[in-house]
Amino acid sequence: MGKFQGKVVLVTGASRGIGAAIALAFAQEGAAVVINYLQNKEGAEKVASSCREAGGDGWSLQADVTSEAAVHGMIEQISLEMGRIDVVVNNAFKPYVFNPDTRKLLWELKWEDYQDQLDGALRSTHYICQAVLPLMKKQSSGNIVNVISNLVERPIVPYHEYNTAKTALMGYSRNLAAELGPFGIRVNCVAPGLVYPTSASQYTKEEMKEMIIAQTPLRRIARPEDIAGPVLFLASDWSRFMTGQTLFVDGGFIM
């Protein structure tokens, strides 16, 4: 019996990378996983079939999570089909390239650059949380896990717009935790460091990776699968008395 048998889990931005690894980990524990994606239909369907092979259930569902109407449509579809949503992992974000050489410096940034990242991280999460709330309140239970970044604690490279949006998401999550606790709904964050291979880290230079490895007590860079365990922990009864927390999953880097 998997830890998430009979549970319905929605993972946004799950057609590849960290999102795909999280979806698969839930399926291995028996969950019915909804794999949300924006464009990569083929990737999402591949993840869905891996979820089914792993002993859970997988269903790919297209929706632009920065659109309120699209989010409501998606949640309605899941609700009609599954009747419940137990766990939401807000993993989707606006594409961002982690390359210290090409990043915009503070004096080159326009407000629109910040707005783009805020839309990707915060707006999307807000729409999803508002849309799932009626279902979770009705169930008197629910788990929301938001994926942020260890840069909120140690901006080793000042990726201004990305990091500002992720820091805002951490603040949002804490307020949400305070508001939703009385309904039996928990909200926590997972903050990975550099994860490789993902589409975002493909341009990260070797010397940057080596510097991070040298400063990481566990002496390696995270793989997507490394992020899945902490997400499952926060979504499970093992963490039932935890809310408003941020788990840093970076091999001890920020320490």
d(CA 139, CA 166): 29
96 is catalytic: no
- CA-to-CA dists, residue 90 to 30, 54, 242, angstroms: 20, 22, 18
- DSSP 8-class letter at 222: B
Question: Of 96, 127, 159, 162, which is the active-site residue?
Answer: 162
Sheet of 8-11: strand order equals 57-62, 32-37, 8-11, 87-90, 142-147, 185-192, 246-249
Beta strands in 22-108 (DSSP E): 32-37, 57-62, 87-90
Secondary structure (3-state) at 184: coil
CA 111 to chain centroid = 24
User: Active-site positions?
Assistant: 162
